[in-house]
Amino acid sequence: MNSSDTINEKDVGADYIIEQGWEQEIPIEKVHFINNGVDLEMFEYNLQNYQIQDNDLEDTKTFKIIYIGSLRRANSQIFSLFEAIELMQGEEYRDYRFLIYGKGDIKEDLENICKEKNISNVRFKGFIEKKYIPYVLSKCN
């Protein structure tokens, strides 16, 4: 995106409020747009320039499913992921690896779930800096 393509964040937020018919309840001057998107140029730059050595990522014989994010109660959807992982045990899934990148107060709970349910295809990789995320994602299936 070049400077002539710049989005006026105020207009984006205001347009949304108006589209929803909320302009009587929400003063437009109090609307602020916070972009939660990806800078594709930075993503590509980081992909090319920031790589990590990780045998699990380089293993071409496994089907890699990757979670990257906080391991906190606010991201409790990860427990649903672990329910799915539990279903994917057994010989037919022996080449599947779930790589979990992140840190947080439920990491130990998730590790205990793996121990209690004898889940063997999960690897907890820990925290990585954001600049490494494009490379890690490029290695997942």
pLDDT digits (tens, 9 = 90+) for 93-105: 999 999 999 999 9
Average pLDDT over residues 6-28: 77
User: What value does the mean pLDDT of the chain take?
Assistant: 88
**Confidence band for 13, pLDDT divided at 50, 70 and 90:** confident
**Confidence band for 70, pLDDT divided at 50, 70 and 90:** very high
Rounded to the nearest 10 degrees, how much is the dihedral formed by the CA atoms of 62, 65, 68, 74? -140
pTM, two decimals, is 0.74
pLDDT exceeds 50 at position 4: no
pLDDT of residue 8: 52
Nearest to 81 by CA among 44, 122, 46, 120: 122
Q: Which residue do the tokens 């022996």 mark?
A: 94
Between CA 19 and CA 39 the distance in angstroms is 26
72 CB burial (10 A radius; 0-12, 13-18, 19+): middle
